[in-house]
Amino acid sequence: MHTTMQTILRINGREARLDHDPRITLLDALRERLGLTGTKKGCDQGQCGACTVLIDGRRVLSCFSLVAAVEGEVTTIEGLSGEDGPLHPMQQAFLDRDAYQCGYCTPGQIMSAIACVTEGHAGSPDEIREYMSGNLCRCAAYPKIVEAVQQAAPHMRGETA
Amino acid sequence: MPTLIGQPTPRIDGRAKVTGRASYASDEPVANPAHAFLLTSFIARGRITGFDFAEAKAVPGVLDILTHESVGSEAKPPKQASGGPTTTTMEDDQVWHDGQIIGIVLADTYEAAREAGFRVRVHYAAETPAASFDAAGAERERRDDGEHQDYAIGDAEGALGAAEVTLQAAYATPTQHHNPIELFTTTCAWENGNLTIWEPSQFVYGLRANVAGQLGIPPERVRVISKFVGGAFGSKGGATARTAWIAVAARRLGRPVKLVATRDQGFTIATYRAETRHRIRLGATRDGRLTALVHEGTEVTSRPSRYNVSGNETTARLYACPNILTRVDIVHADRNTPGFMRAPPETPYMFALESAVDELAEKLRLDPIELRRRNDAKTDPVSGLPFAGRRLMACFDEGAARFGWADRNPRAGSMRDGEWLVGLGCASAVYETNIAACAARVSLRPNGTARVEVAGHDIGTGAYTVVAITAADRLGLDASVIDVAMGDTTLPAAPLAAGSSHTASLANAVAAACEMVRDRLARAATTRNAGPLAGRDPGTLRLVDSCLTAPDGVAEPLSDAVSRLSPGVVEAFAENIPDGAPPDAMGKLHAGTNPILRGYKRSDVAAYAFGAQFVEVRVHARTREIRVSRMLGAFAAGNIVNPIAAHSQYMGGMIWGLSAALLEKTELDDSAARYVNDNLSEYHIPVCADVRDVEVMMLPDDDDRANPLGIKGLGEIGIVGMNAAIANAVHHATGRRIRELPIRIEDLL
């Protein structure tokens, strides 16, 4: 039960070899072992969406994913842009629209919003509202989150220079 | 003079927030931490008779398990900001409420601590608990005057007896929990007898003083760091029991300890908005002038605490009425101690008053806005003092025009859109203008950049940006070159970020420090004779566009002005004690007490922000599904420092109101006195799809009687009128008057 196992994770374009407790979730591994604290713990029960990351482009709740079971390339909020470089269009849109207040759910919102666009679910405000409803924002920035997704979507699709 | 105050400014911490680099307390790296898991009680009343740790201690990686038996004497209970004594935790074997902290498992990993936590067996001598109002064993008492006050103006009972029209109704609001998305976390580390605490906090100086007092060490040996807070809404304002115990754990292990409490534990280890009941009696003339107002409230609290919010201190002051009577009773039950939650007094009490006003308007066949106009107070009905700005009716008039109130058919149940019954409702919003003592340090460099240090708190309000805007405005710089440090007790003392006071408190202190910098530069420039401003009156010089500038336009570059005084930086430290605050306010702040000056306890004016809130609801004719299709808030809340963040805060407050009125209720198991829906899928808060059109109007409201910068604060007023506006709209849609929140489908069947 308490043996250690080893998993090689691919995160933000790098490989991380992790000796770990088999019970550890991807969320706790990111935060407590790999120093990637941009991914947040809000409920640890798959209910709030704050821990959303992308695995091979699909949105995944990292609190519900055991490290041992992760397959594919993991992208976290830290993987979207360089330290001082240009922001990802979705990050820029959240900044431009003030689509946050405390900022705690924001990394999860942004990861989810990127997937919302790539899934083809950003066609209308109603569709965005529906497909962004897995990410809770207690500060209630929702109308501005919808605006941010609308702003970023054409940039992500390459429709705007 | 052009001013940056009031100009839309993107948050200076925005990039950190969208890149994941904003450092919340549990993100801060500490070396080799042990992980803590809280043991919490499974009963609500009784005593712990023993623990069985055999299985738990056999879990590999477990380091220690702390209980009252091992460490009970090492910490005292935290002092509460309000209400007096609170429940104990591991100080002894007593269980005061379900979910009370009774032990802490420490292990090398979180996984081991959690598993061991589930393997601890606890033995209790349980007693039957009282969960809330009406339970056998709940104790009722009248709330004495003290922190809060009852009012008896004129002869309310007599006026009611003589009134041409009367209205009497009872209202109720439920238990609600803040549920910020960030959990209640604490990391503690000791070094050479000095304790560092990383914990999300609305009051780092308060937490420092409190934990120092609990542990019996000088506050100077405690440092609290809280750079970003992942939502608070009142829940992170006071010291909770967990912090001192994690400090004790770290001291025993000789190793940092990190606690990330679980979501369900957050319902019982911190505070909540207690359930309330109200009886309102109104007397009026036939033409709608109030002759009597009686507002009696009852609130639940824990066994030892007298915490209450007494929102009838606000409802007594909103409308002109010669005869006013208020009273508050509190009911002690076997519960954790409640505490501040967004607009603590107004959210429940204004639901009652503003519903009753709507009911009275219907009875009088008057438009509800017109009824409010006829009773618009010119002076504070309790104190007789003038208001420091009162634009309530301007908010109604401009809001109503924008919202299309004139198109409303006043008859309930008369408006329909296909399958949907449509209802429009409105309510007044009001919140007192508070300010507290605060210190700040400003350092201006010759290269035209500056640093501001203040131990303030950005709980999502945009406080970092408010500080930058204020300093930039006063120093004649761009906000982007101001470096702001906050959330650390090594910085100059700042008060509790609560009561919609933080912007006013921080900005006025920062402005005072900037004025000291300007004054030093101006005196040097005018008295040391080399330079274009020699011989001028220093009081007339201003810092504008990176220059020290005289009224006639003669200017000296900032670099020259600064270099004259120092090759490095010109620095000023200011303590701002607001007029009317006690002179020892700064001492109180250092001692961990929030030195707040409340807008209704002043001797010169009654200082309040006002607003009018409008809601359109749609109730499905058959399923009775309730949707809020439109909401509009028009607010006159003093000078706005940053319209971008202000808009977000108003909007967030209004959506909080939607949530309070239609979704949020912590359900109690009455026999166990236990919260049932203690998770985010069963404790309902709005998701993106629940929120449609939200419009915010900010009316000018410039009154420097509020404070020198005329800032009134707006974190709370956005929620204040929403409960009633929605209930009033539901009534308009359906003809059903719902007097108990939240309003749910089953109430309309």
pLDDT of the residue at B528? 82
3-state DSSP helix/strand/coil percent for chain B, to nearest 5? 30, 25, 45
Distance CA B548, CA B531 (A): 11
A48 touches chain B (CB under 8 A): yes
Which of B17, B27, B461 lies nearest to residue A106, judging by beta carbons?
Answer: B17
Q: B486-536 pLDDT, tens per residue? A: 999 999 999 999 999 999 999 999 999 999 999 999 999 999 878 999 999
Q: Does the pLDDT at position B3 exceed 90?
A: no
CB under 8 Å to B401, separation ≥6 — which residues? Answer: none
> C-alpha dihedral over B561, B565, B567, B571, to 10 degrees?
-100
The one catalytic residue in B74, B199, B556, B716 is B716
Establish, for the pair of chains A and B, how many residue pairs have beta carbons separated by less than 8 Å. Answer: 187
Supply the pLDDT for residue A35. Answer: 97
End-to-end CA distance of chain B: 60
Q: What pLDDT shows up at residue B567?
A: 84
Give me the count of residues in chain B.
749
Walk me through the domains of chain A, giving residue ranges and CATH numbers: 5-78 (3.10.20.30), 89-156 (1.10.150.120)
> What does the pLDDT look like over B187-236, one tens digit per residue?
999 999 999 999 999 999 999 999 999 999 999 999 999 999 999 999 99
B24 contacts on A by Cβ (under 8 Å)? 37, 40, 104
Which residues on A lie below 8 Å from B458 (Cβ)? Answer: 102
d(CA B685, CA B663): 6
Q: Which of B111, B462, B687 minimises the CB distance to A136?
A: B687
Q: What percent of chain A has pLDDT over 70?
A: 98
Cβ–Cβ contact B503 with A under 8 A: no
Helix (H, G, I), strand (E, B) or coil at B349: helix
B178 contacts on A by Cβ (under 8 Å):
138
DSSP state of B743: P
Looking at chain B, the domain(s) classified CATH 3.90.1170.50 span 25-127+181-231+236-269
B688, B693, B716, B722: best to mutate for the A interface, most A CBs within 10 A? B688
CB contacts, 8 Å: B11 with chain A? 95, 98
- Tell me the whole-structure pTM to 2 decimals: 0.98
* Dihedral sign (CA B718, B719, B723, B726): positive
The answer to whether residue A106 neighbours chain B at the CB level (below 8 Å) is yes
**Across residues B231-255, what is the average pLDDT?**
98
- CA closest to B34 among chain A residues: A32
CATH numeric code, B25-127+181-231+236-269: 3.90.1170.50
With a cut of 60, say whether residue B1 has pLDDT above it: no
* Residue ranges, CATH 3.30.365.10, chain B: 338-434+601-748, 435-597
- Measuring CA to CA, how many Å separate B178 from each of B76, B243, B334, B405? 26, 19, 20, 33
Residues constituting chain A: 161
Closest to B163 (Cα-Cα) out of B286, B26, B344, B37: B286
Indicate if B296 belongs to the active site. no
Contacting A residues, span 5-24, partner chain B, CB-CB under 8 Å? 21, 23-24
Mean pLDDT across B655-679 = 98
Chain A residues with CB-CB distance to B461 below 8 A: 101
* ipTM of the complex model: 0.98
Closest-CA residue in chain A for B715? Answer: A139
Average pLDDT over residues A30-57: 98
Average pLDDT rounded to a whole number, residues B356-362? 98
Decide if A137 and B181 are in contact by the 8 Å CB cutoff.
yes
One CATH from 1.10.10.10, 3.30.420.40, 3.20.20.150, 3.30.365.10 for B338-434+601-748: 3.30.365.10
Summarize pLDDT for B275-327 with one digit per residue, the tens.
999 999 999 999 999 999 999 999 999 999 999 999 999 999 999 999 999 99
For B435-597, the fitting CATH number among 3.30.300.210, 3.40.50.170, 3.40.50.1820, 3.30.365.10 is 3.30.365.10
CB-CB: which of A81, A106, A141 is closest to B648? A141
Task: Summarize pLDDT for B23-50 with one digit per residue, the tens.
Answer: 999 999 999 999 999 999 999 999 999 9
B176 pLDDT above the threshold of 90: yes
Q: What is the mean pLDDT of chain B?
A: 97
Residue B110 at interface with chain A, using a CB cutoff of 8 Å: yes
- B442-461 pLDDT, tens digit per residue, is 999 999 999 999 999 999 99
Q: Cβ neighbours of residue B719 under 8 Å, at least 6 residues apart?
A: B342, B343, B346, B347, B653, B654, B656, B657, B660
Burial of B473 (0-12, 13-18, 19+ CB in 10 A): buried
B112 vs A28: CA distance, rounded Å: 13
- When CB atoms are compared, the residue of B17, B22, B110 closest to A28 is B110
CA distance B234 to chain A (A): 13
B99 contacts B41 by C-beta, under 8 angstroms: yes
pLDDT score at A160: 66
Question: Would you place residue B462 in the very low, low, confident or very high pLDDT band (cuts 50, 70, 90)?
Answer: very high
Q: Could you give the CA distance from residue B333 to residue B323 in angstroms, rounded to a whole number?
A: 33
| Chain B residues near residue A42 by CB distance under 8 angstroms | 181-183, 263, 680
| Amino acid A2: pLDDT | 62
Q: Which long-range contacts (CB under 8 A, 24 or more apart) does B552-555 make?
A: none
With 90 as the cut, is the pLDDT of residue B568 above it? no
pLDDT of B2 above 70: no
